[in-house]
Structure 1
Amino acid sequence: MKNSFFLKVLTLLVFLTGSLLPYSASATTMSGSSLVAVNKTVETNSLVENSTTEVTLTIQGTPQDTTTVKPNDVILIVDKSGSMQMDNRLEAAKTATKEFIDLMDLTKHRVGIVDFSDYSGSFALTTDASAAKSYVDSIQLSGSTNTGDAIRTASNILANHRPEAQPTIVILTDGAANSEADALASAQAAKDQGIIFYSIALLGPTEDPNSSAPNQLLKDMSTSAEHHHFVLGSVGLSDVYKQIVEEIGLASAYNVNITDTISPEFEIVPGSYDNNIPKPTVTGNTLVWNITELKTDQLTLKYQIRAKDTTKAGRYSLGTTNTSFVDNNMNSYVMNTVNPIMEVLNPKPVISIINSDKGLTTGGEIVTITGMNFLPGVKVYFGNYEATVTSESNTEIVVTTPIGAQGTAKVKVLNSDGQFALGDFNYYADPTLSYVTPAEGPMDGGNRIAVIGSNFMSGAKVLINGIEAQTEFSTVSKLYGIVPASPIDGFVSVKVINPDGTEVEKADAYNYLTPAPKPTIKLTSLSATSGLLTGGESVYLIGENFDTNVKVYFGDKEAPVNYYASPTKIRVSVPAGTSTGLVNVKAQNPDASESELPAAYEYLAPPPPPAPEISYLSDNTAMIGEQKTVYLFGKNISPTAKVFIGNQEASVSFVTTSKIRITVPVSTQPYTADVKLVNPDGQSAILAGGFIYAEPVPDPAPIITSLSDNSGLISGNETVIITGQNFKSGLKVYFGDRSATIDSVSATEIQVRTPVSSITGNVTVKVVNPDLQESTLADGYNYEPLPITVTKLSVTSGSIAGGNLVYIYGTNFNGLMTVTVNGQQVPYTFLATTRIRIKMPAASAPGPVDITVDRAGAQASITYTYY
């Protein structure tokens, strides 16, 4: 038997005999160190009040001899309840069970069967593989899941196991037991008898094993977590059974007993050990695990501890860990595991309130710090300077502050064990203000000043007459500010406010100067004194004290200033006037000062526009009833000009002053008309006889010249190209009295598909244009009959006496044919276009003869043999 599953490379632990480790400890043994290694670690080696840490025991086994297999008496428990019909689970279980039996070395082991639902059936321990597999084949579906009864049945059989053999149970089930409590109790009773307990949970294909109640139940029933397996939808079940076969009889140790006692300074957190498999027995501060069989897989056991409320700060051993077990030969071993050192810490100090939390930079303030967990000998620091402690308790410290720098300082309460708490204290110093330079400026503000004083802080604000200035911090004795605008002139106060709320104000520290009066605007002359009523003339205004935002008016209309040359010269664009005549011209500065020249500019009437002219039309002819668009070319055409053709107005689209597009009105009679162009001012131009309405010329009739193919089958759908002249889109084509399908049309060529014909022979081909003019080609196309074929006979031979009924199969048959056998006409029955029936006449001699079908000259034959 191959045992490669167990041949894992294990790292042996270093055995410690004289010292304790802070985070983990490894096992030392009196003997048997090559079989079992036990290691104990903690998540963290320090604890404070109410904190917990997790303790982990790892047990690693190494088989003493991988070639020696201990005999086992094995009972295979198979669930046959009704739910095992899903996903074909029972058949998969039976197949895997038989494979398990075949893999077992029955020269060493024995195997028995227990199958269960409401009640249990059994097959006694045997070394006869065939008999055991025959029993497995007889297992049938039925009933519910009485797991406890099945385990008790298996335990009763194993009560009489061979003295040298290890009793073992392998249980497979897919559902929750009728009673979980009964199942767990019966499994525990079996393990108490020394029975090794394997379990296999047969779950649904999509079932989550982590939340599956049946899976958890079977895990709790196993000897250890390594003795439990699960499969989804029975996939891989055979592999699990194979793995268990390879494990049976090989173990590192048996009857492993681990006693783990925690030191009295600590206590075990209740329930923190419940997820271990197997679960320990807990009495006070002692946990005991009993493991019937230890394999090679690493077994991990976990629980949590915490320091007791009465435990003082210090370093303590976590406890003692003793392990006993026996090997394959029943030799006994005892080993001790060195435990980690745990440090119990005082609780960390906490600052709740600092009162008061601000004081002068010169120090000497009395401050009370309230909190908890303060130790005797506590020290207090304000920034880098130690404060003087005047009184202390567990919850309150009174100190005298040291000197400090202006701003926020960290308060550090440092216990004698090195733990500390932090808070904030604000040092302040009252600022002073000596003077402002420069100390005066315009009411519009915008000038930069320096504020000189002391104890200024970064982020300080400067206010001038209560209005905040844009402030820049320079040093603790200098600030810069941009002076805000003021609605009043004269001396005002200057105030500095630090970010910590300290402030200083100096009265009459800054003087807003009264502004000098602005010069008066004066308009003296214009570069031009007249222009067209339409405006747009450029005119220079000459004067004094023009502002850059000066406004100019011609009468009551504003003239835009498009060029500011200097305070004495500007250029404007004259606005359009409302009437001809003289108007006043006024210039006005933003300060409302203005200057006006009366009757300084005259609006003149514009000259009349030139009369329109017509040169020619792009097209001067239209048919009666035809609507045509043409272009009219000329001169001086208004965008709103009108055009008349005779006495009818044409629709006009303006293009340029020398070209417009017109839509000529429709006429019902032929005549020659004048073309008249009228501008909105009434001026017009006439092109005499400029447009002609004419009679339309009729289209020529179509002419058929030839056909690309002048014959085809009566079934139609033959492609034919008709060549000729004067063909029009929308025409129709007829073969005889039937319309052809038209695929394409050009003036000289038509491509058609011939229609189906009911007759054979020649027909007339006709082309009809949309104007009903037509052309015909008499006997232009010949319809040919469909070919006839004979494909097979229902009977291909018969006696010379005749009398056989023979079905003849083929194509294009009808009831007007003749049928001959060896030249002799015989009657026939028409059944379909593909089938007729004849009665074979007598023959004078044996041998092959022709059966011929003739339809209007179209013939087909097939051979028939007389014997």
Structure 2
Amino acid sequence: MKKIVFSVTLTLISFSIVGVICTWAVPIMVITGQVKGNDGTLLEDTDVIIKNTNKETQSSQRTFTGNEAGTFDFTLIDFTNQSVADIGDQLEIIVKLDDGEIIARKIHILTEDEVESSLVIISVQVGGKPSISSIEPSTSTVNGGMTVTITGNSFQDGASVSIGENAMTEVNFVSETTLTAIVPVGTTGTTDLVVSNPDGRSATLSQSFTYTSLAPVVASINPTTGITTSGISTTINGENFQNGATVSFGKTESTQVVFVSQTKLIADVPINEVGKVTIQVTNPDNQSSTQLVTFTYIFPAPTISSLIPDNDQTTGGKTIVINGENFQNGATVRFGKIDGTNISFVSVREIAVIVPRVEEAGTVNIIVKNPDDQSASIRFTYREPKQQLIWDISQNEVVDIFDLVIVAGQFGKKGKNLTGDIDKNDIVDIFDLVQIASHFGT
């Protein structure tokens, strides 16, 4: 690198002696060049800044006007006798307009010849100002990761792209009008898109890209089963839940949902029909879960409140009525280990059944079992049979009004094997009525 020699002349007034006290040489480098516009014309009266990024030095100058329009000429001097620049140093040339807008940026690496000659000649080309017309797609979830296409004009190879304060990755220069890039992670909301060319010029498409929250994910629920009349709540585990989310059990929405965290909700189970339904969580931003996590509705368990009557002889044969709740058509009835016969489903509250015969008197459980295997039980008593009374025509183990009605209904009839002919004289007469009346209540 060339050095320029400076001398200092000191006048000694006292002795009228004038002489050169000392001389020394300092490093110097000249950087000259021109700034051209996009159409090739020289740009005059613009700010040019030159930085040596290796030595952290900087100089600035306006391009000349007149006969030397669009040119610049820097002379770098280091009075500390250190090197102004070395081979391989990186010079950054920045061109700005009066309003501070950067219209060109160029990186120049110093060569050996330039350092030895102390002369650098640089031409800076100002490209067209980029513009953005669209970005597609213009929406992404906050976790990013999707590829978008940016269209516009005057894009340069090496351009960078950012959404808000987040830089896009894998920016691909397709042409001067097209870039592709991968959306970075962001935060919910709408923000600006910025394309910055390597020459320092940039373009902004305001409020053009929207980040949306992630859709809710349902991973599991507990419990997974409940009765159709409900009255319980279930805990829903997953991800991306928002305060204010709703929960649907099939087509029926829960009346109360408690937001615990982004991973947990507690929802009241609504009344529904028997069967499986899909649980769906919908956030206030209208995004819904799509997982097929199901809740199973079952009938309530049956209950038995009474038996009419609650006993019979070991010979069986009597029809009893079982009263209760939540009986199902197809329910079975067992007397201990023996099945009842002629089971009749009357309603969800009533079943009729004929008592089966057993060998021994005693108490057994009557068990009503619904088709869904839910059951209920109640105690029933078998007793030894009483001696059959001839006056107990109705065979209900007591001589009562029903027996009188039978005799009265056949009164005056003649013939054999008449049920009202108590004295077996082949006619139902006053004597038969007297016998019933005299044993009434027996």
TM-score, normalized by the shorter chain, greater than 0.5: no
TM-score by length of 1: 0.20
Higher alpha-carbon Rg: 1
With CA pairs under 8 Å and 6+ residues apart, which has the higher RCO, 1 or 2? 2
